[in-house]
Structure 1
Amino acid sequence: MISGVTIGQAAAFAGVTIKTIRHYHRLGLVDEPGRDGSGYRRYGSSDLLRLVQVRTLAESGVPLYEIGALLDADPQRFAAGLAEVNRRLTERIEELIARRDSLDRLAHSDRALLPDRACALLDRAADLGFTPQEVAAHREGMVLARALVPHGFDDYLTQAEHALDDTQFLALNKQCWAAKDLEPDDPRIEELATAVADRFLANPALLAISNGLQARTDATRYGLLNHHGEDQAPAMARLTALVETKLRSAGVDIPYQ
């Protein structure tokens, strides 16, 4: 007569579900025991031990498809197999920690996409009186520059630092933001474009921001960077176009869009 416990009792003793035991059977991890006179499968102590071993390895992170070979291996191969699983789990843990850190940085959106040096520039811009909307636009420009011209990004930040040191340029920059709601044909746009172009030409360190990007990219990426957001501000689009035209007239090499 076959002795042992039913599948329900085996599941309770092993700490798994009946569905899990049947899944183990399908994968060949646990042999199906014989049936008693009533047609019920009866699980003996060796079956329960195997169930507990499989469950423990699975809960420890061993993939189910590897468990059978591990349990059937000699002690040396078993230890080596566990060491390999340990290594993979460690890598996974490190990856999860990195993802968690990224989520933490997302709470401070600047630091999720930009290095500390760029974030310091954004903080400085805020301290210099730029509005949150203007700082956000600068942030978007930095993110684009880093993505489109990664090898030139440090130079871009260096020149941006120079720009924040130029009080006249900062004043003009704020005037440009104030002009975004003007009509594109407003004569003040032309006047402002002349002033901006003249300031670029008077301070080559400012102009190097544009030149440095052009040297590393093509016209398409240059346009994505320098004309970002203009579809929502026609006055800014005309202002940028006028400034570029005036700089070209002065001999500055700027790609045509």
Structure 2
Amino acid sequence: MADGLTIGQAAAFVGVTIKTVRHYHRLGLVAEPERDGSGYRRYGSADLLRLIQVRTLAGAGVPLAEIGDLLDADPERFAAALDDVHRRLTEQIEGLIARRDTLHRLTGDRALLPDRACAILDRMPGLGFSPDYVAGQREALVLARALVPEGFDGFLTQLEHLLDDPGYTDLIKRGWEAETWEPDDPRIEELATAMADHYLANPALLGNSTSLRAWVSASTRYRLINNHRQDQAPISARLTALTEAKLRSAGVPIPRH
């Protein structure tokens, strides 16, 4: 019986495929054994040891191009090379974790909005706002952050004040209820007046001067954001336009449509 193992046996013992063993041979990581009298290559214990070392280092993330030098290095160089591989693997892991977290945050557009904005959106259902309203606000926030970044923080502060005001939240809910009204319903004008009066009685709800200036200087972008989804809520869009017109008449600097 011939001494040593066939390539298939050696591969099975080490836990790799025959194709992998041959790849190691091509790269010069494992020397090919001499052929026996029958013309077969036979793998001895030294060959198996080398295969195990190569497989283990490759499985640990060491690039195949570096394994040969690493196995032939002295203990100090070997330890230094492993430290370098450890550092690179750590960087790759951190990058993958960041990508995974980004994918996780995509739920609810969290990849597109900061935590502060998400916290505002998370409050809305508990205050009685419908899922459709919250979805529209989420999309508007994404647009606002991208189109008017200089006014975004001030806009978030304004929203925080608005959600803290029960009178405002009641008016907004009435505005969404108005979608069931007829377009010429006189209550639309009355509600717009009530909204404008509430803003004027509570100036903090209008936002700070820096934020207002940012919106005024970006009137075209403001119009894009303000008109978002208006086809789905035409009465609310009209209500907003009437309210803004009343505020402008009172001297509030709101961009014109």
TM-score (ref. length: structure 1): 0.79
Matched, 1:82 2:82: yes
Q: Secondary structure at the match of 2:207?
A: helix
Residue 15 to residue 123, structure 1, CA distance change in 2 (3 Å)? closer
Q: Say whether the 8 Å CA contact 1:160–1:209 is kept in structure 2.
A: no
Q: Distance in 1 between matches of 2:23 and 2:212?
A: 59
Match of 1:35 in 2: 35
Q: Which ranges in structure 1 are unaligned for 5 or more consecutive residues?
A: none
Preserved contact between residue 179 and residue 235 of structure 2 (Cα < 8 Å): yes
Contact 1:214 1:222 in 2 (8 A): no
For 2:50, the equivalent position in structure 1 comes to 50
Give the stretch that moved more between structures: 160-169 or 188-197: 188-197
Matches within 5 A, 1:1-257: 4-99=4-99, 109=108, 117-150=116-149, 152-182=151-181, 184=183, 186-208=185-207, 212=211, 215=214, 218-257=218-257
Instruction: List per-residue Cα deviations over 1:149-174 (Å, max 9, x = no partner).
Output: 55544432322222123333222211
Counterpart secondary structure, 1:29:
coil
Change (3 A) 1:186 1:30: farther
Aligned equivalents of 2:196, 2:91: Cα separation in 1: 53
Using the TM superposition, give the Cα deviation of residue 228 of structure 1 relative to its aligned residue in structure 2, in angstroms. 2.5
Q: What's the CA shift for 1:6?
A: 1.3
Give 1:83 deviation, angstroms.
0.3
Please give the alpha-carbon distance, in whole angstroms, between the structure 1 residues aligned to 2:228 and 2:167.
23
Q: Give the deviation of 1:88 after TM superposition.
A: 1.9
Contact 1:213-1:222 within 8 A present in 2 as well: no
* Counterpart residue identity of residue 164, structure 1: L
What's the CA shift for 1:238?
A: 2.7
Deviation (angstroms), 1:55: 0.4
1:181–1:233 CA contact under 8 A, matched in 2: no
Asked if 2 retains the 8 angstrom alpha-carbon contact of 1:227 and 1:237, the reply is yes
- What is the DSSP-based 3-state SS (H/G/I as helix, E as strand, rest coil) of the residue aligned with 2:29? coil
Paired amino acid for 1:165:
D
Q: How far apart in 1 are the matches of 2:94 and 2:23?
A: 31
Could you report, residue by residue, the CA deviation over 1:111-134 in whole angstroms, capped at 9, with x for unpaired residues? 666555445444543333323433
* Residues 148 and 218, structure 2, Cα contact 8 Å, conserved in 1: no
Q: Which moved more, 1:143-152 or 1:126-135?
A: 143-152
- Counterparts in 2 of 1:35 and 1:146: CA distance versus 1, 3 Å: same
Note the C-alpha offset of 1:209.
Answer: 6.7
Compared with structure 1, are the counterparts of its residues 185 and 36 closer, same or farther at alpha carbon in structure 2 (3 Å cutoff)?
farther
How big is the shift at 1:65?
2.8
Give the share of equivalent positions with the same residue, in percent: 70
State how far apart, in whole Å, the 2-side matches of 1:67 and 1:54 are: 7
